[in-house]
Amino acid sequence: MRYHNITKDDMLNGDGLRVVLWVSGCSHCCENCHNQITWDVNGGLPFDETARQELFGELEKDYISGVTFSGGDPLHPRNTEEIGMLVEEIHEKFPKKTIWLYTGALWEEVNRLPFVKYVDVLVDGEFVQALADKSLRWKGSSNQRVIDVKASLASGSVVLKYED
């Protein structure tokens, strides 16, 4: 897996103060994507042990609420396995930290991935320029959903974390 950046003390990509891992690789290529530089799966840097230590070092800070995986698409086929391992490890080592994951895929396509049960909030769906709305909370276009993963898995249907 490759990544472009680890953002520290972020307040724009989930509840609270967060660390964000911006992964490389996206096949959705949404019109007017806010982060087109991350589309190339071979772009950025290798997510090596130094990057892993940087991410985990930020999560050790008491004031950090959790981690957000964005990109690119964390669930691009070249990212899914390593993201899954990271999600599981973060859940185990930092059980009080929340895990958010942004993907252009739909909940119905990814809800059976084994590690999804450890994600707290999943923002699904491609960004659609015609549905863009800057007043939306935690998403860029109205077709996207901010999903409460645990409630959705328990109920068998999509439960939104925030409704606009």
The reply to whether 138 falls in a domain is: yes
Instruction: Give the torsion sign (CA, 134, 138, 102, 86).
Output: positive
Whether the Cβ atoms of residue 111 and residue 153 lie closer than 8 Å to each other: yes
Q: How do residues 27-57 score in pLDDT, each as one tens digit?
A: 998 888 878 888 899 999 999 999 999 999 9
Q: How do residues 64-107 score in pLDDT, each as one tens digit?
A: 999 999 999 999 999 999 999 999 999 999 999 999 999 999 99
The reply to whether 145 falls in a domain is: yes
Q: Which domain holds residue 70?
A: 2-155
The reply to whether 90 falls in a domain is: yes
The reply to whether 164 falls in a domain is: no
Q: DSSP letter for 132, please.
A: B
> Would you list the DSSP string of 42-89?
T-SEE--HHHHHHHHHHHTSTT--EEEEEES-TTSTTTHHHHHHHHHH
Distance from C-alpha of 146 to C-alpha of 98, rounded to nearest angstrom: 14
| Domains: count for the chain | 1
Q: What is the pLDDT of residue 37?
A: 85
The one-letter amino acid at 72: G
Percentage of the chain beyond pLDDT 70 is 99
The reply to whether 161 falls in a domain is: no
CATH number of residue 95's parent domain: 3.20.20.70
Is 145 a residue whose pLDDT tops 80? yes
Q: What is the pLDDT of residue 66?
A: 98
Q: What is the pLDDT of residue 33?
A: 82
Using pLDDT thresholds of 50, 70 and 90, give the confidence band for residue 151: very high
Q: What is the pLDDT of residue 162?
A: 79
